[in-house]
Structure 1
């Protein structure tokens, strides 16, 4: 990789994010307000995905429980790919495709919010997780790549990143998560910057 390719990677990442927010700004506000209502009502957020999307889910759950930019009360959020005992038990005793759905059946309650993160939108365990969330009355949100995959058709809200390149999609996903965290902190806890 030479310097031109490095510059191109940064420019492409910025272009993807700019195109994304031009088409999704209103939905970002709507989902931000949905999450605020859920937190105010004592609901929780369950986040899940595979690989890099699993770490994005964990990162964002930590921002909610810990903090993003300001000291504040913790917000209830769980990343479902973090409990290795539960994941390996479910995968061994049932099926790997059930690792998220079983946890949602255990932890999800009507009015909670499920955020499925998947660059393809086609991972069977993510699809089953969304189906379990819908069955239990959770509000469902997906963060995907351009097509939305099968998950995009199953959820209440879908953020489709306009790219088919996994790295560019994930870069936009984490930016989306940070923007939502900032929006929620400002609205719930006041602008303390």
Structure 2
């Protein structure tokens, strides 16, 4: 058996073990989060999300599923990936320092009752800790997805889903599953919605036609 095959086997086993623990200990938490989002997003609530590196990609994946759709048709929901605001991130980082790139955006965009989702494999990123503190002070509900407990971000959040795995890659892979399950729970808890009317390309719209 080659070393590369053994490494791949260990990676798969690590993910399988982490998901088994996630299923036992955190699945109910994700379902509750989905139910909460189903209550606030359709009535004007907003979700803000942020992360660093691979976790930034996971956060942006979540917001894309909410603004677009996961599986079933529904209205578009307000969701912003803070790290994707490149001009804001670079301006804030230049003027105030990297630890403030998310906190200042949370202060600008967040409203009481909104949700802030912060993803971090280590749970120790200064910019996410500052965002969590700012979010809670502003009345947002702060959720964290992190690696193993204990870590500062899980402690700073209102609620946290912590993946018990040693590998950064395994934590991120489990976070992707958590993102999909969160969207699935939201779809299951939300009211059904008919598919939106899509205008035919080239057709002329009349006043009052849906767009």
Find the residue that maps to 2:66 and give its secondary structure: helix
Aligned structure 1 segments of 4 or more residues deviating by more than 3 angstroms: 189-192
Based on CA coordinates, which of the two structures has the bigger radius of gyration? Answer: 2
Cα offset, 1:191, TM superposition: 9.9
2:15 corresponds to: 13
Give the TM-score of the pair, scaled to structure 2. 0.86
For residues 2-46 of structure 1, the C-alpha deviation after alignment (integer angstroms, 9 at most, x for no partner) is 223212312221221111120112212221222112213310000
2:205 corresponds to: none
Residues 11 and 189 (structure 1 numbering): CA distance in 2 closer, same or farther, change over 3 Å?
farther
| Distance in 1 separating the partners of 2:150 and 2:174 | 14
Cα offset, 1:76, TM superposition: 1.1
Cα offset, 1:71, TM superposition: 2.7
Find the residue that maps to 2:83 and give its secondary structure: coil
Backbone CA RMSD of aligned residues: 1.6
Cα offset, 1:70, TM superposition: 2.3
2:78 corresponds to: 76
Find the residue that maps to 1:81 and give its secondary structure: helix
Number of residue pairs matched by the alignment: 192
Which stretch shows the higher mean deviation, 71-80 or 121-130? 71-80
Q: Within 5 A, what are the aligned runs for 1:1-193?
A: 1-190=3-192
| Distance in 2 separating the partners of 1:145 and 1:14 | 15
Give the TM-score of the pair, scaled to structure 1. 0.94
